[in-house]
Structure 1
Amino acid sequence: MFKELAIKTEKNHLIPGHIPFSPQKVPFYYGWIVLLAGALGILFSIPGQTMGVSVYTDHLIKNLNLSRVEISTAYMIGTLTSALIMTKAGIFYDRFGARVAAAGSTVGLGGCLILLSYSGSLSGIISRISGLPLHHSAFALMVVGFLGIRFFGQGVLTLVSRGMVMRWFESHRGFAAALMGIFTSFGFSYAPRVLQGMIDLTSWDKSWMIMGFFMIAAVLPFILIVFRDSPEDCGMEIEESLKIKKGSHNNSGGPEHSYTLQEARKDPRLWCYMALLFFWALYNTAFTFHITSIFSSLGKTNSQAVAIFLPISVISICARFLGSWLSDLIDLKFHYYTLVFSIMMGSIALWLPYNTVTAVLLIFGMGMAGGTFGVLNALTWPKLYGREHLGAISGMAMSFIVAGSAVGPWLFSLMERVWGHYRYTGLMGVGVTIMIGLFSLPALFRKPASLQEI
């Protein structure tokens, strides 16, 4: 199935690039508008991201009478199912363009948020109609709801928004990724406060309903008007009128030939990057999802737990900006091992007894890892495999990332149930990261050959 889809990637954009206006008429390079629009698109995906869901975890446990492990299991099933179809979403994006794919995901995310806002009453209705116990109906509804917001939010909308920006830049790609990273990192770090404020002003279910209608009434028109798939789709050249940075083509411009998904799968480097990104998604999602429980096991309050996100986000923003800028100058394998050592640092902090030193280690490790992950996830695929099939390749990568984010919260909750604490999650993080880093050395440091020769 994937082989057939990978071949059929001829473009069939339903909305021409000059509708409702031509980007060529903009007095400066339209890529800068695309950069802002893509960053906003990623921020609009927050209701489907981990930090957007974690704010609602305790409310769901209380109002739907589900345990923490059951919520984590529903989250895992829904997210894993999302991961299984993410590659097809990337191929759809390649074929029909950014506007169609992003618009569809926006409607889907909005609809799923509205559905989840009625989860309390809907679970009772489903129970009466199906004859299932109320407990089982609530669990099934959460699986469907998590599938929807994770696929349309964390998956498709994020994939398309990031991929669209990468298609508009080549020699300035690292700089564009750095700017986008600053914007989105600040938004993500502040999002839990905004969502908690909405819950305090209304209620947990009404806040979901408000966001759902906002996605359809406001975000959808914005995407249809502003989003554009690529310069070529608008009759323009990439980075038209921009001054080319000297010495940048060899590092950020990408290969001369764009590789298909089938060709990219033959490259060992693809699997090295995917393995590390998968594990960081697993580990970071679990850490974020269970942050209050982790700090509670250390004798800390919920306020102390949430407060750690601010210094982590500051370090993450700095690391992402510096890493994106340096990607125009150095090879991505150095970013790869920066991520390896950063995950190890954060994992060691979870393993050791909590004190001032380990708190600094945790903040610095998780912040550096988060920033470096953003660099690799945005820049690796266009740099190694080109722009033409970026949707299919990044869609497959996103499926691994989404799968990791699905397994992580469930695995942490299981380990906490077995041992009564989270210290062994730190030991697991150190061990797995060391293995991934060692096994990747031969593939990443050998002289790269043409993918057609592999």
Structure 2
Amino acid sequence: MALVQSQADTKPAQGSRIWHPDFPVRPACFPFFYGWVLAFFATLGVCASMPGQTIGVGVFKTRLMEVLGLTSMQLSVSYMIGTFLSALFLGAGGKFFDRVGGRKALVYSVAALGFVLLGMSFVDRISLLAAYIPVVNFRIWLPGFICLALGFALLRFTGQGMVTLASRAILGKWFDRKRGLIIAVSGAVVSLTFSMAPLSFEYLIRDVGWQGAWQVMAAVLLLVMTALFWVFIRDNPEECGLEMDGGASSKPRKMNPDAMVHRDFTRPEAARTFAFWAFTLMFALSGLVITAFTFHILAIGEEIGVSDDFILKLFVPGAAVSIVSGIAISWVTDLSFIRIKYLLCIMGISGALAYGCVGFGTYPEISWLHVLGFGVSGGCFSGLSIIIWPRFFGRQHLGAISGLFMTTIVIASAVGPFLFSMADSFLGNYRIAFIVSAFFAAALAVAALWADNPQRKLVQG
């Protein structure tokens, strides 16, 4: 397939042979479009971020509290501080992605996550050494608190931040017309994998201990994942002599106006659009609530009157609904008559429904509505979060724009557990926090009606 020289994000030849697009495998020589291989490993990249996601950290919570002598509130605050610190560097991380390309960015980020996990497995010993520092030892819990906050900062930056950002941004560079299909399949795999993470990590901890669990994960990332991503990941099709989607379609069809890119936006230009913040704030609210719900899951279950097993098992049907809705959302984005802003509106309505269930509902009677709301909202998140940025703002500055988006998401996820903990401490329950979140979700659903694709305005103007 002919090389498309006009693409703005085509990279020059790499200085070192080990990073050359045709080494050690040549994508253009595959008997089928290499984007399908790329999609598999980019999806694997998102799955590799699990140890740095809240769903992967939560099972370590009680173990860390025990060995470091921290209370639940102290652990929540250290998690918030660490996540805040990680968000400060995600903008630079996005620019790093644009500068070095997706292949290097993903390999380096996965390796960094592996080393962070290795360090986190010794956080108890590191905190003992930190206790000898006069500045941090005037409270018995402070050395462990500081070490854990710094560890969380590195864990969140590498895992939830860079590994996720790089994997999703790479995927967005290889597909255009088929982007909805790819995102649907990728999102289904990620949702299923993430739903199994807490139980899998818990079993691993029981077998080898919390330290051994992090060490096993570190070994897998450093010895297996980094090698796989170096071999198979490529930044974009143009550097490999290929075209997006594998070339021209043999079956012409009417394009969705929301899929037509007329020019590339810079990060400051994107940040000045209403659409960017309408989508970003909706995703941020979802991240805030889901992180808080996951972090305080057992306490919330007790408050709404269900057992630990019952509240944990709601993740399974929720993941199923998320997979189905994610596939549906991703598929309809490729239809010529669909406006993506209406899909964002659906996300807001389903989110308001889910949060309202926890805030006002009676369990277990309302559990089916809980599963439906959280599932559809999660499906919209996975289905839209990769599609919108290359369609709305082009591919040239995709890393920087995604970095700003991820920074906002990470900040929201940082404050989520803390805000919900504050609601419980000062207002006596978590329900009020869910009620407030439901009102915000409804308001953002209304705002979504004005979140038009900025590319449309270029044509209309």
1:99 is matched by which residue type in structure 2? R
Matched, 1:110 2:114: yes
Q: What is aligned with 2:343?
A: 335
Q: How many residues align?
A: 446
Matched, 1:323 2:333: no
Matched, 1:49 2:53: yes
CA distance in structure 2 between the aligned counterparts of 1:226 and 1:139, rounded to whole angstroms:
39
Aligned partner (choices 214, 217, 220) of residue 211 of structure 1: 217
Structure 1 window deviating more from structure 2 (89-98 vs 40-49): it is: 89-98
2:239 is matched by which residue type in structure 1? D
CA distance in structure 1 between the aligned counterparts of 2:99 and 2:254, rounded to whole angstroms:
29
Aligned partner (choices 248, 261, 272) of residue 267 of structure 2: 261
Please give the secondary structure, in 2, of the residue aligned with 1:450: helix
1:251 and 1:327 in contact (8 A); partners too: no
Q: What is aligned with 1:39?
A: 43
Aligned partner (choices 17, 33, 36) of residue 29 of structure 1: 33
Q: What is aligned with 1:289?
A: 295
Q: What is aligned with 2:366?
A: 358
Shift of 1:199: 0.6
2:359 and 2:435 in contact (8 A); partners too: yes
Q: 1:158 to 1:244 in 2, by over 3 A?
A: farther
Q: What is aligned with 1:197?
A: 203
Aligned partner (choices 384, 392, 404) of residue 400 of structure 2: 392
Q: 1:335 to 1:64 in 2, by over 3 A?
A: same
Q: 1:123 to 1:442 in 2, by over 3 A?
A: same
- For structure 2, list consecutive stretches of 5 or more residues without a partner in the other structure: 1-8
CA distance in structure 1 between the aligned counterparts of 2:218 and 2:57, rounded to whole angstroms:
14
Spell out the pairing of 1:25-424 with structure 2 (5 A cutoff). Answer: 25-130=29-134, 132=137, 133-241=139-247, 243=249, 246-247=252-253, 249-251=255-257, 253-329=259-335, 330-424=338-432
2:232 is matched by which residue type in structure 1? V
Shift of 1:412: 0.7
Q: What is aligned with 1:6?
A: none
2:304 and 2:358 in contact (8 A); partners too: no
TM-score (norm 1): 0.93
Shift of 1:419: 2.4
Shift of 1:401: 0.8
CA distance in structure 1 between the aligned counterparts of 2:169 and 2:437, rounded to whole angstroms:
29
CA distance in structure 1 between the aligned counterparts of 2:386 and 2:454, rounded to whole angstroms:
23
Q: 1:63 to 1:24 in 2, by over 3 A?
A: same
Please give the secondary structure, in 2, of the residue aligned with 1:183: helix
Q: 1:136 to 1:254 in 2, by over 3 A?
A: farther
1:109 and 1:152 in contact (8 A); partners too: yes
Structure 1 window deviating more from structure 2 (381-390 vs 352-361): it is: 352-361
Shift of 1:207: 0.3
Q: 1:10 to 1:448 in 2, by over 3 A?
A: closer
Please give the secondary structure, in 1, of the residue aligned with 2:387: helix
Q: 1:129 to 1:244 in 2, by over 3 A?
A: farther
Shift of 1:372: 0.4
Q: 1:397 to 1:53 in 2, by over 3 A?
A: same
Structure 1 window deviating more from structure 2 (355-364 vs 377-386): it is: 355-364
1:427 is matched by which residue type in structure 2? I
CA distance in structure 1 between the aligned counterparts of 2:217 and 2:189, rounded to whole angstroms:
20
2:38 is matched by which residue type in structure 1? V
Structure 1 window deviating more from structure 2 (176-185 vs 298-307): it is: 298-307
Shift of 1:447: 9.9
Matched, 1:20 2:28: no
Q: What is aligned with 1:5?
A: none
Shift of 1:438: 3.1
CA distance in structure 1 between the aligned counterparts of 2:428 and 2:234, rounded to whole angstroms:
50
Q: 1:163 to 1:433 in 2, by over 3 A?
A: same
Q: What is aligned with 2:5?
A: none
CA distance in structure 2 between the aligned counterparts of 1:186 and 1:446, rounded to whole angstroms:
33
- Offset from partner CA, 1:58-114 (integer Å, 9 cap, x none): 221222111111111111111112112212111111111111111111121111111
Shift of 1:420: 2.6
- For structure 1, list consecutive stretches of 5 or more residues without a partner in the other structure: 1-8
Shift of 1:16: 2.1
1:402 is matched by which residue type in structure 2? V
2:428 is matched by which residue type in structure 1? G
Q: 1:134 to 1:20 in 2, by over 3 A?
A: farther
Structure 1 window deviating more from structure 2 (433-442 vs 359-368): it is: 433-442
CA distance in structure 2 between the aligned counterparts of 1:113 and 1:202, rounded to whole angstroms:
15
Shift of 1:387: 1.5
- Offset from partner CA, 1:219-243 (integer Å, 9 cap, x none): 1111111110000111212222563
1:155 and 1:398 in contact (8 A); partners too: yes
1:171 and 1:328 in contact (8 A); partners too: yes
CA distance in structure 1 between the aligned counterparts of 2:180 and 2:141, rounded to whole angstroms:
49
2:180 and 2:333 in contact (8 A); partners too: yes
Q: 1:401 to 1:198 in 2, by over 3 A?
A: same
- Offset from partner CA, 1:259-288 (integer Å, 9 cap, x none): 221221222111111111111111111111
